Structure 1
Amino acid sequence: MAFTIYALMKAGLLLLNAAAILHKERFLDKLGWTEQATIAAQSMMSDPYFPGGPNSMYGQTSQPSSTESMKTQFLKFVIAVQTIMRVPLIFINLFAIALELLLG
């Protein structure tokens, strides 16, 4: 099997499908990866003496993407896929299945 753009697209589609069907209460709660846990972790990381966070100077806030952990970004990605991509994934999967049936 060759390493092609089509193979990368199929792998990305499989990852999107996995994120779309991931059950938060069964899987993520066991790891402690809930929305409440990430909010609590972010609030513990903020310094009460510097309201903008550790990277701010004189109360200017830093960009939120630079202070977010990978866990927070992963949770936001899963939530976004489950809310936004659920219906489009149905049609993308149907197209991918039809393409596989036609081209082999």
Structure 2
Amino acid sequence: MAISIFGLLEVMLLFINAVAILNEERFLAKIGWGRQAANPYEQESVKARIVNLITAVSTLMRIPLIGLNIIVILYLVVLG
């Protein structure tokens, strides 16, 4: 099984899709990773940075991800 650049890009796209669809109220807050669970005085903690990254990806990357997913799906349908 050969690993290609497109395969790595596809894995990254799937990972970003997974992060973008995480719902804060349904999933993240239940495991203690919601924005309310992050202590405002610990802005430099790893947990606070990951929570901020998840929030940023879900809000900023929503529209570009739709376009990227359409391009990848069309590429895979046409070229296999």
Calculate the TM-score normalised by the size of structure 2.
0.87
Task: Find the aligned partners of 1:40 and 1:77 in 2 and give their Cα distance.
Answer: 15
Name 1:100's counterpart in structure 2.
Answer: 76
Which stretches in structure 1 are left out of the alignment for 5+ residues?
Answer: 43-63
Which stretches in structure 2 are left out of the alignment for 5+ residues?
Answer: none
User: Are residue 28 (structure 1) and residue 4 (structure 2) matched?
Assistant: no
RMSD, aligned α-carbons: 1.6
User: Are residue 75 (structure 1) and residue 51 (structure 2) matched?
Assistant: yes
- Deviating runs (4+, > 2 A) in structure 1? none
Larger radius of gyration: 1
| 1:7 alignment partner AA | G
Aligned residues: percent identity?
A: 44
| Higher mean C-alpha deviation, range 32-41 or range 83-92 | 32-41
